[in-house]
Amino acid sequence: MRSNDKQVTRRDLLKLGMVAGTIGFVGRPFSAGAEEKPVPEEGDAGEDLSLPQVPRRILGKTGKSIPILLVGGGVNLDPRFDPKLAEALRFGANYVDAADCYGGGSCETAVGNFHTRADIRKELWITSKSDAHDPEGFERTLETSLEKMQTDYVDMYYLHALQNGDYLSDELRTTVERLRSGGKMRHFGFSCHHENVAELLRLAAATPWVESVMFRYNFRQYGDKELNDAIDACVKAGVGLIAMKTQGSEASFREDWRKFERTGKWTKHQAVLKAVWADDRITAAVSHMDNLEKLKQNLAAALDRTELGRADWNALEKYAAATRNHACDGCDHLCGAGMSAPIPIGAVMRYLMYHDVYGERERARELFTRLPAEARNLATADFGSASAACPHGVDLARHMERAARVLA
Ligand code: SF4
């Protein structure tokens, strides 16, 4: 890999100071390309070899090679044949990240129609997820997913948005092992984005039948010792790691981040993806690309092997500092303690992000509607003490006032 500036090492990255804390590890220079391998096996499409192909890395103990850029299915997909999926595939981005709930349930149908129409099931890696976490519900949801996606196997199946680690029970392990040996599911893992991400990563590292975790991870968190230690534990245990929410939760602050739209060679969106890829413990980043232009930009960032240089990192650090008070980490235990009303602040902030940033207005409203009535009573709640308790200075009164307007 070339560098457009002085090469940034992992030590440098951890010293960027985006989050206070002692550095948990130091090590070899970043070289995202070091573990990238071409893919000579089923499910690893090298689609149009006359075109440059997105680099690939091995996903932990699955031993499988996947592209570093994954196509998020939480966007509107054409139910007949989605052109974004086709374009991604041409450049080797053959991994689709679906879920039973994405698109109000339409995502899996669109993925099924896409691969059957083009007859490319074997060239596609499909991950989907179950919102049911108990063994019976998990198996039932998998069956429905297979039916909707018109396939007899899924490459990976996740527990979706796991928060309670108790669901990784012996009963679930028995079910997972049966489904895996029966061929309906090739690999198993979970996704997580709540305040206990580090705890769940440690649990994954200690649970041999968990092969992969997709978790909230972005440039704001590089100095977080607890998270870094948990990531290291996963890497040591062979748990394949996929980053999501890489844009750093930019709910309701478009005007602020526009000042940082370009860090130099890269747009801000490209730069934060490259920041995740610079961490060679992470196999891939999933990206919500809701139009061809975003897909094109992200493909360009993945295909260009130029690493972020010092100037890019400095720009990202400035961006992180300037927008820190807009980005919610979902650590409700910190601000929620100061609330008299039972409002799940981290969740509401996440729904606001779905609404404002991902453009998933219906999904955001639907998720908000599912909250108990007392948790939706944003208009009368006092967020003063919660804002004061937030270590990042998130202006909750402003965000919740907006949430009440657009989500309720
Ligand atoms: S508002 Fe602050 S303390 Fe509350 S969940 Fe978000 S980042 Fe954490």
Q: What is the DSSP string of 291-316?
A: SHHHHHHHHHHHH--PBP-HHHHHHH
Q: Among candidates 303, 116, 288, which has minimal Cα distance to 214?
A: 288
Ligand 1 atom 7: residue of nearest CA: 328
Where do the CATH 3.20.20.100 domains begin and end in the chain?
Answer: 10-320
Question: Which two three-digit tokens encode residue 407?
Answer: 């989500």
Give tens-digit pLDDT for 356-398. Answer: 877 778 888 988 999 999 899 888 888 888 888 898 888 888 8
Atom of ligand 1 nearest to the CA of 349: 6
Closest by Cα among 332, 347, 348, 366 to 403: 348
Threshold 0.85, pTM exceeds: no
- 77, 111 in Cβ contact below 8 A? yes
Domain 10-320 has CATH 3.40.50.1370: no
Residue nearest to atom 8 of ligand 1 (CA): 331
Q: Ligand 1: which residues within 6 Å by Cβ?
A: 328-332, 334-335, 345-346, 349, 390, 392, 394, 396
**Is the distance from CB of 66 to CB of 77 less than 8 angstroms?**
no
Q: Is residue 46 pLDDT above 60, yes or no? A: no
Q: Note the pLDDT tens digit of each residue in 261-270.
A: 676 788 888 9
Q: Which residue has the higher pLDDT, 16 or 244?
A: 244
- C-alpha 344 – ligand 1 centre gap (Å): 10
The confidence score (pLDDT) of residue 18 equals 34
Q: Per residue in 241-289, pLDDT tens? A: 999 988 765 544 555 556 666 767 888 889 899 999 999 999 999 998 9
pLDDT of residue 256: 59
Q: Given this model, what pLDDT does residue 1 score?
A: 37
Which runs of consecutive H residues, i.e. helices, occur in 98-181? Answer: 106-118, 135-148, 170-181
Is pLDDT at 28 greater than 50 in this prediction? no
- How far is the CA of 322 from the CAs of 18, 56, 252, in angstroms? 11, 33, 14
Predicted confidence at residue 255, as pLDDT, reads 58
Whole-number Å distance, alpha carbon 256 to ligand 1 midpoint, is 19
Share of the chain above pLDDT 90, in %: 53
Q: Using the mean position of ligand 1's atoms as its centre, give its distance from the Cα of residue 221 in Å.
A: 14
- Confidence bin at 227 (pLDDT 50/70/90): very high
Q: Is the separation of the CB atoms in 98 and 150 below 8 Å?
A: no
